[in-house]
Copies of this chain bind each other. A is one copy, B any other.
């Protein structure tokens, strides 16, 4: 997705240690028009997987996932990182290390909204080591549902997440894949 790649080159900041700051259009300030375009593209890429639900993680996955949900006309569930009082006592919960938070976070989904037999498309903002997405995969499987695809806005191709997910047999698509970010330079893989 060229508009996304251009935006990363223009406004992304390499903070070192493999951290790419995209707070100006994804993570804190959101470019809603860009997210809409990303959603449309996810809908195209996953047109054939017959998903019945989209699953993402709060917070930054919500905007691209909801835009994909709009085009695919699917409900979007976001795994919560803390349990609100409106959620039942019995939940699906897994732990995932968060690179940008520097600690392990909980990912929680209510059994009300992820059920046996569903076909789940996972959408998130980043695919790096795949730790968060593997957490979403575990939640899906605990629920008795099946992962039918994994989509990410931005992939850090040098962190191994794609290899891990593809070894598990998942279809993985990203809209911008970064091959390297040494020094100030961001290089895409295609």
Given known contacts A21-B86, A70-B36, is B62 in contact with A28 (CB within 8 Å)?
no
Q: Give the distance to chain B from A79, nearest Cβ to Cβ, in Å.
A: 9
B62, A32: Cβ atoms closer than 8 Å: no
> Interface size of A by Cβ–Cβ distance < 8 Å?
43
Most chain B CB within a 10 A radius of its CB, from A63, A74, A87: A63
Copies of the chain in the assembly: 2
Choose one: B75, B82, B87; the contact of A31 (CB below 8 Å).
B75
CB of A84 within 8 A of chain B? yes
When each residue 52-66 of chain A gets 1 if its CB lies under 8 Å from chain B and 0 otherwise, what string results?
A: 000000110011001
Given known contacts A19-B85, A63-B62, A86-B15, is B110 in contact with A28 (CB within 8 Å)?
yes
B59, A27: Cβ atoms closer than 8 Å: no
A27 to B21, CA, bound (A): 27
CB of A148 within 8 A of chain B? no
B77, A35: Cβ atoms closer than 8 Å: no
Q: Give the distance to chain B from A144, nearest Cβ to Cβ, in Å.
A: 17
A15 to B86, CA, bound (A): 8
The 8 A-B residue pairs with the shortest CB-CB distance in the complex, in nearest-first order:
A32-B69, A29-B113, A32-B70, A21-B86, A30-B76, A29-B77, A62-B62, A63-B66
